[in-house]
């Protein structure tokens, strides 16, 4: 019998999850005829969930994302860091 302890890691991918949420929200806003970029920016600046449609559960999804972490990720991405 092996007495060594095995380790297990789920490898949490926050950036990937945020990308998936933003993509879903973007698509839902576009499907409803909104300008997705303007609506998402309005939400990020104000934290007012009414900027995001309830279509395809987009409003609930975006509220699960930490805005500060989202902004950090967006700035890092923009600056290619």
pLDDT tens string 32-60: 999 999 999 999 999 999 999 999 999 99
**What pLDDT was estimated at residue 12?**
58
Count of domains forming the chain: 1
In a domain, 63, yes or no: yes
In a domain, 21, yes or no: yes
In a domain, 34, yes or no: yes
In a domain, 6, yes or no: no
**What pLDDT was estimated at residue 8?**
52
In a domain, 4, yes or no: no
pLDDT tier at 14 (50, 70, 90 boundaries)?
confident
pTM confidence score: 0.80
Domain hosting 73: range is 14-78
Say if residue 25's pLDDT is above 60. Answer: yes
Average pLDDT across the chain, whole number: 89
In a domain, 3, yes or no: no
**What pLDDT was estimated at residue 32?**
97
- 7-46 burial code (b ≥16 CB/10 A, e <16): eeeeeeeeeeebeebbeebbebbeeeebebeebbeebeee
In a domain, 1, yes or no: no
In a domain, 23, yes or no: yes
């Amino acid at each position: 019998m092996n007495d060594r302890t095995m380790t297990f890691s789920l490898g949490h991918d926050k950036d990937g999850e945020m990308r998936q949420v933003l993509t879903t929200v973007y698509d839902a806003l576009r499907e409803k005829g909104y300008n997705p970029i303007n609506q998402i920016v309005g939400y990020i600046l104000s934290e007012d969930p009414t900027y995001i449609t309830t279509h395809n559960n987009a409003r609930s999804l975006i509220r699960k994302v930490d805005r500060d972490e989202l902004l950090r990720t967006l700035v890092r991405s923009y600056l290619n860091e």
